Amino acid sequence: MSAYLELRGLRKRFPNGTVAVDGVDLDVREGEVVALLGPSGCGKTTTLRCIAGFEDPDEGTISLQGRRLDVLPPNRRAATMVFQGYALFPHLSVFENVAYGLRVRRVGGAALRERVERTLALVGLSGFGDRRPQQLSGGQQQRVALARALVLEPALLLFDEPLSNLDAKLREQLRLELRALVRRVGITSVYVTHDQAEAMTLADRIAVMDRGKIVQLGTPREIYDEPVARFVADFVGHANFVKGRVREVAGDAAVVDMLGTTRRAAASAPLRAGDEVEVMIRPEEITVLAADEPGTVPAVVRRAGFLGSAAVYQLACEGVELISSAPLERGAPLAADGQRVGLRIREAALRAFPL
C-alpha cells in the first residue's frame, strides 16, 4: 500500500556542485498537510520545486496517487503551487488570474465564472475580481494566489513560504485563516517554511530538513518534545544545551552527570556509560525558585527580563549559561539581577544527544 505522495531517494545537485537534496524519502498521506521545515539552504524549497517540476531531480522518484510524477512536464502535474512572491500575473485582473488555470483547461462560460466567484468568496475576496493585483494589499494578493491554486481543485497543493512576504502581525492572522481553509478544503498539501510557528500551526506532520536530508518526520508534538537530533531540538523552539557524562543507561533513558548534579534524560540514541552527551533543557522546563528551595540547582540571575505574560531569566549555573522562560502570574515578584536562586529542572523533558 503506497502513500498518496511518495518521494523516494530524491537527490538534486546543482551545476555549481552544491547538493541541495541528498536522498529524501517522504510519504504524505491523503488529506494530510506536511510541512518541510528548515533553515535556508536546507533543500526544502528544492524538494518542493522537484515535486512541481521546476527542477529535475538527478535521482529518485516522485509518485502521486501511485503514478510517477517526475516523468511529466511541469504543466501536466496536478500539483498547484502558491508561490513565495505570489507570482500573480500583473497584466491580468484578479478574476483572470484565478481563471487562468481553468481557461488553460478549456473551462469556459458560466462554469468558469461560477467556479472563480465561488473560490474568490472562499478566500474572502468577493467583489475584487476586476481589480489588478497591484491594487491589492499583500494579504489580499496572498489570498488571490491561494484562490488561483484552489480553484483547480488539485490533487496536491504546494506552498512555498506563502506568508514570508507579510509583516509579523498579518502573518500570524493569515496563518490561522490558512489553517482553517486548508482543513476545510481538505487538499493534501506540502508546505515549505522556515518559520516553525507556521509549521506547527498548519501541519499535521513536519519534516525537519538539514543539509538536503530529512532529519526528523513527525507530528508537531513529536518534533518538539522528542527531537531525534540536536539540530531539531535547536531549530524547533528554544533550547538550552548542557554538557554532561552518562553515568548509567536504563532502558531508553540515561542518568547523566550535569550542572553539578545528576538527572535522568531520555536518550535520543543508544548510549553507553561514560559517553559525553549534550542534554537539551527547554527554557520553560526551568523554574526559578528561591536559593534555599530543596532539590534545586544553585544559580545566579544575570539578567531578568519581563515580557508581560512571562519572565525570562538569563542565568549562570555551574559556569553554564541557561535561559529560563516561565509564565509569570500577575503581581508575582521578579528575581533581581545578581540574585542567587535555585533552579528546578523538569526531568521528564530532558533529552540527551551524543556528542
Q: Applying CB under 8 A, which residues contact other proteins?
A: 52-54, 56, 71, 73-77, 79-81, 83-85, 87-91, 100-101, 104-105, 148-149, 152
Q: In angstroms, give the least distance from the CB of 285 to other proteins.
A: 42
Task: Decide whether 77 or 351 has the Cβ nearer to other proteins.
Answer: 77
Q: In angstroms, give the least distance from the CB of 192 to other proteins.
A: 14
Q: In angstroms, give the least distance from the CB of 53 to other proteins.
A: 7
Task: Decide whether 91 or 169 has the Cβ nearer to other proteins.
Answer: 91
Contacts of 232 (CB under 8 A, 6+ apart): 208, 215, 216, 223
Task: Decide whether 72 or 289 has the Cβ nearer to other proteins.
Answer: 72
Distance of CA 120 to the CA centre of its chain: 27
Contact 347, 263 (CB under 8 A): yes
Contact 279, 265 (CB under 8 A): yes
- DSSP 8-state code for residue 293: -
Task: Decide whether 70 or 275 has the Cβ nearer to other proteins.
Answer: 70
Q: In angstroms, give the least distance from the CB of 121 to other proteins.
A: 20
Return the C-alpha cell found at 178.
490558512
Task: Decide whether 54 or 306 has the Cβ nearer to other proteins.
Answer: 54
Strands of 14-130, DSSP E: 19-28, 33-37, 59-64, 67-68, 79-82
Task: Decide whether 80 or 188 has the Cβ nearer to other proteins.
Answer: 80
Q: In angstroms, give the least distance from the CB of 189 to other proteins.
A: 14
Cβ neighbourhood burial of 144 (10 Å; 0-12, 13-18, 19+): buried
Give buried/exposed letters for 96-131 (b at 16+ CB in 10 A, else e).
bbbbbbbeeeebeeeebeebbbebbebbebeebbeb
Task: Decide whether 79 or 112 has the Cβ nearer to other proteins.
Answer: 79
Query: DSSP secondary structure string, 261-292?
Result: EEEEEEESS---TT-EEEEEE-GGGEEEEETT
72 vs 319: CA distance, rounded Å? 58
Q: In angstroms, give the least distance from the CB of 196 to other proteins.
A: 25
Task: Decide whether 112 or 279 has the Cβ nearer to other proteins.
Answer: 112
Task: Decide whether 38 or 53 has the Cβ nearer to other proteins.
Answer: 53
Q: In angstroms, give the least distance from the CB of 103 to other proteins.
A: 8
Handedness of CA 54, 56, 57, 60 (dihedral sign): positive
- DSSP 8-state code for residue 87: -
Q: In angstroms, give the least distance from the CB of 132 to other proteins.
A: 13
Contact 94, 123 (CB under 8 A): no
Q: How far is CA 88 from CA 71, 105, 161, 290, in A?
A: 27, 18, 15, 58
Q: In angstroms, give the least distance from the CB of 340 to other proteins.
A: 55
